[in-house]
Chain A
Amino acid sequence: MAVETTTRAKVRWGLLDVIVVVFALVPVLWIASLSFKTPATLTDGKFWPREWTLDNYRTIFDTDQFVRALVNSIGIALIATLIAVVLGAMAAYAISRLDFPGKKLLVGVSLLIAMFPQVSLVSPLFEIERQLGLFDTWPGLILPYITFALPLAIYTLSAFFKQIPWDLEKAAKMDGATQGQAFRRVIAPLAAPGLFTTAILVFIFCWNDFLFAITLTSTERARTVPVALSFFTGESQFEDPTGAICAAAVVITIPIILFVLFFQRRIVSGLTSGAVKG
């Protein structure tokens, strides 16, 4: 009886999972399928391409436009992620471990930044960056990305830091470590899962951003992939760029998948087990 219900429950949950996964993946697969179709069969409405072609991929890698954008995207997202995670880790550590005046204010303000509608900041930022000469440069995108990624980083990381036993840091200090050494050699390795989780989230945020990228860039110097995609045209004005856009969309998904897979292996739970008690 009990076994029967569990199998039934399993089947039910399994079905539900399949529905959710299919629902989420169909558009992605559709795009992948489109990217392999020839221009003639593009609109045939078939899920499975009748004629396979790699032309779309050749097209995008032939244009300097896309490759430049890919380089920009990777560079900007990586640098912004690195800085946001390092700064976020230090802030989160202070918030979770120290009692300092203005702590509540700091947390409140960072929450405020996260809630602030980005659209309303776009035009002022545009003006500011033009004045400062940051417009259409890498730092011009990295800076706003860091600003908006930091609250996220601080929140996720302080949750992780709070789980690390306080005694470990005291022990490190007694063993002769400075505050900095205690953090680098004992706390940070234990917070690694948190650091990687945060890095993934921040990277995805930077990688997918369209709003800042479209307003704060004008040329290939700093234009990122999501924006470059929107500028895609065919070889001639009359050619349909859909196939190329789809190919590009598939290509830019790959770094994210790699990034997540790479860091996910490091997110092992139970890293602190054995630290305290028995």
Chain B
Amino acid sequence: MADIVLDKVSKRFPDGTTAVRGVDLEIADGEFVILVGPSGCGKSTTLNMIAGLEDISSGELRIAGQRVNDKAPRDRDIAMVFQSYALYPNMTVRENMAFPLRLAKLDKESIHQKVEEAAKVLELTPLLDRKPANLSGGQRQRVAMGRAIVRQPKAFLMDEPLSNLDAKLRVQMRTVVSRLQKQLGTTTVYVTHDQTEAMTLGDRVVIMRGGAVQQVGPPQELYDHPRNLFVAGFIGSPSMNFLHAAVEDGHLRTALGDVPIGDRVRRQLDGADAPRELILGIRPEHFEDAALIDDETRRRGLEFDAPVDIVESMGSDKYVYFTVEGERASAAELEELAADAGAADFTGTGSSLVTRLSAESPVREGESRRVWFNLEKIHLFDPSTGRNLTLHEGRASGALAD
């Protein structure tokens, strides 16, 4: 068990692609860290550099305080679980799991014992003498995990280990991974691009974009206090709503009406080179049916009327989709996020707004509805840099803060 430190680690491939640029990351002993980001952002490359499967172009990697840049994978004492499982097809499950131990030259007795133990933890005991070809996807996945844990390595690296499983099995395996990591207390770096895995599994989440780290923090912190537009849009499902906001003396003109701004945001908009246009971000759950809120709450927000497109009743609450007129928010980050999601759900002229309202709301499709939203939960972003202007000392404080 050990801590892992990445000190300005970069990776340039021979063809000139810079896949990872200047990543600084300190992973504490026993911590479970998730690397997440859109496809091609350098997650696997980062993981492979920690593993020793890719050379580090510049920067330093330390495991347990020791510089390991030039060490071969076998000298780093790290286990890895691959997306493809990478089981040795010519060996039985038992031989697969014993392979790292045999290479470590353990005696037969303790190999047998360790394999049996790991098989019990992962419920693989009845399958020990089968070949990988005769296993289901989930069983293969468990064998891959088993091969990683038998050796009690300093750290686990996992590259999208669950992405080849069907949805139900993935949920099941997620808890297995989580329980196993807690039980063993082994430092773990886990790559995924699944929202739920990122939010539920890790102690901390690292969001990457274009080879650079965007923000590192506990999942809730990333959700509540995104440092920039990219993080805000990436975390959360359904994702944050983004609207165009024009700065006009003392307030913001948006499709939801004029939004007042507090001193703190105003100060940032005073400078000569300050942006004249912003992007307003607000999460679906910060809307509410205006008929359902008390006056105390009402004062903290604004109300607007909009036609209802679609109502999806989830039982506990309702997802309601509105169309609002006005200019669409545009920024490089938003386009990238839309491309990664594979969906351009922006059709028509106006912007689409996703809200999560109480289940009691009698909202119906086709009607026009009055909706309230919380000003304290609004984020304002500079479209050119993506920076969150409402963030103060790492905390988002809404549009009104003084």
Hey, which bits of chain A sit against chain B, CB under 8 A? 99, 165, 167-168, 170-178, 181, 185-186, 189-190, 270-278
Contacts and interface: CB of A to CB of B under 8 A. Distances in A.
Contacts of B100: 175-176
B102 to A, nearest CB: 9
Contact of A274 (B52, B99, B103, B134): B134
Contacts of A186: 88, 90
B386 to A, nearest CB: 35
Given A274-B131, A275-B132, A174 B53 contact: yes
Interface stretch (B77-85, B250-258, B259-267, B374-382): B77-85
Given A167-B82, A278-B137, A173 B87 contact: no
B74 A176 contact: yes
How extensive is the interface on chain B, given as a class? 35 or more
Given A173-B74, A177-B74, A273 B133 contact: yes
B140 A168 contact: no
B13 to A, nearest CB: 11
Contacts of A175: 79, 99-100, 103, 147, 151
B86 A171 contact: yes
Contact of B136 (A99, A176, A278): A278
Contacts of B103: 175-177, 181
A167 B74 contact: no
B84 A276 contact: yes
A273 B53 contact: no
Contacts of A274: 87, 89, 131-135, 140
A167 B84 contact: yes
A149 B149 CA distance: 45
Interface of B: 14, 51-53, 72-74, 78-80, 82, 84-90, 99-100, 103-104, 131-138, 140-141, 147, 151, 164-165
B90 A189 contact: yes
A278 B165 CA distance: 8
A174 B137 contact: no
B53 A173 contact: yes
A104 B34 CA distance: 41
Contacts of A275: 84-89, 132
Contacts of A270: 133
Contacts of B87: 171, 274-276
B84 A174 contact: no
30 contacts: A167-B84, A167-B86, A168-B88, A170-B53, A170-B80, A170-B82, A171-B82, A171-B87, A171-B147, A173-B52, A173-B72, A173-B73, A173-B74, A174-B80, A176-B151, A177-B103, A181-B103, A186-B90, A189-B90, A270-B133, A271-B89, A271-B90, A273-B133, A274-B89, A274-B132, A275-B85, A275-B88, A276-B86, A276-B87, A278-B164
